[in-house]
């Protein structure tokens, strides 16, 4: 439909005025004569209606007909060219938007991969630090366990020496009950010390086993983290 104010009569008057001035009554020229109002397609349609009804009027000269024909063909070519340009521009805009959307999606995926890689790297570093700390604690406990073991052996050796001394003293001093009782008390204390050291040794052994389990779990978690990190690298490529 024509815009408000653009009528068949207005187009006919504008085109007649242009012809009277000796100018080519093209669509653009008619639109300018109308004050740059109305769409080109509407003006083109109204001009075709004028051409269709012009057969009932006085036949124009051959030059006028040729001029009008050339003008119509020129306007049609311009209109078709504009349609092709508009369609091409629409396709280009759609392709541009599609490309931009794809680019944004790729950028989001890249940012997500970067964040995941950073998180995996941080996690790996934390697990590595935990593993080193656990290994150091285990080594310390192993040294302490070795010390306690040696102390227990030394105590056992001393107990054996004391027992031998008690036997010798009993054989030599059957009458020295007081001294024998004292020696027996010392022997009892030594045995209690030995039991206490053995209990500490048992406790240390249990702690060592717990630490060894923690170390094994930490190493397994570290291997899993490294495997996950290695698996994520091809995705980034």
**What pLDDT does 5 receive?**
61
Residue-wise over 166-181: b if at least 16 C-beta within 10 A, else e? eeeeeeeeeeeeeeee
Q: Which domains does the chain have, with CATH numbers?
A: 8-101 (no CATH), 106-236 (1.10.287)
- Give the DSSP per-residue string, 88-129: HHHHHHHHHHHHHHHHHHHHHHHHHHHHHHHHHHHHHHHHHH
Q: Which of 173, 165, 168 is nearest to 190 (CA)?
A: 165
- State the Cα–Cα distance between residues 96 and 4, nearest whole angstrom: 35
**What pLDDT does 55 receive?**
53
Query: What are the backbone angles phi and psi of residue 5, rounded to the nearest 5°?
Result: 95, -15
**What pLDDT does 186 receive?**
84
Q: How many helices (H) and strands (E) does the chain have?
A: 5, 0
Q: Residue 184: which residues within 8 A CB-CB, separation 6 or more?
A: 166
**What pLDDT does 97 receive?**
92
**What pLDDT does 94 receive?**
92
- State the Cα–Cα distance between residues 54 and 52, nearest whole angstrom: 6
Query: What are the backbone angles phi and psi of residue 106, rounded to the nearest 5°?
Result: -65, -40
**The residue count for the chain:** 237
pLDDT, averaged in runs of 10, over the chain (237 residues)? 68 91 89 90 90 58 64 79 90 92 92 90 90 89 91 88 80 72 83 89 88 90 86 62
């Amino acid at each position: 439909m024509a815009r408000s104010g653009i009528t068949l009569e207005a187009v006919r008057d504008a085109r007649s005025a242009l012809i009277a001035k000796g100018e080519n009554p093209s669509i653009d020229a008619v639109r300018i004569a109308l004050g740059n109002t109305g769409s080109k397609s509407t003006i083109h349609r109204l001009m075709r209606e004028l051409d269709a009804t012009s057969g009932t009027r006085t036949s124009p000269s051959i030059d006028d007909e040729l001029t009008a024909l050339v003008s119509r063909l020129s306007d049609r070519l311009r209109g078709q060219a504009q349609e092709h340009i508009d369609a091409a521009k629409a396709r280009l805009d759609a392709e541009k938007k599609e490309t931009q959307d794809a680019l944004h999606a790729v950028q989001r995926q890249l940012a997500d991969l970067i964040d995941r890689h950073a998180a995996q790297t941080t996690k790996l570093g934390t697990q590595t630090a935990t593993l080193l700390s656990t290994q150091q604690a285990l080594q310390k406990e192993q040294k302490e366990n070795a010390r306690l073991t040696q102390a227990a052996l030394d105590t056992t050796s001393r107990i054996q020496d004391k027992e031998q001394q008690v036997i010798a003293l009993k054989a030599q001093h059957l009458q020295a009950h007081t001294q024998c009782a004292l020696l027996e008390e010392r022997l009892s204390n030594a045995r209690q010390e030995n039991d206490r050291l053995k209990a500490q040794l048992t406790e240390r052994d249990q702690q060592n086993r717990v630490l060894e389990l923690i170390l094994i779990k930490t190493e397994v978690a570290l291997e899993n983290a490294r495997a996950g990190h290695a698996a994520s690298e091809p995705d980034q490529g």
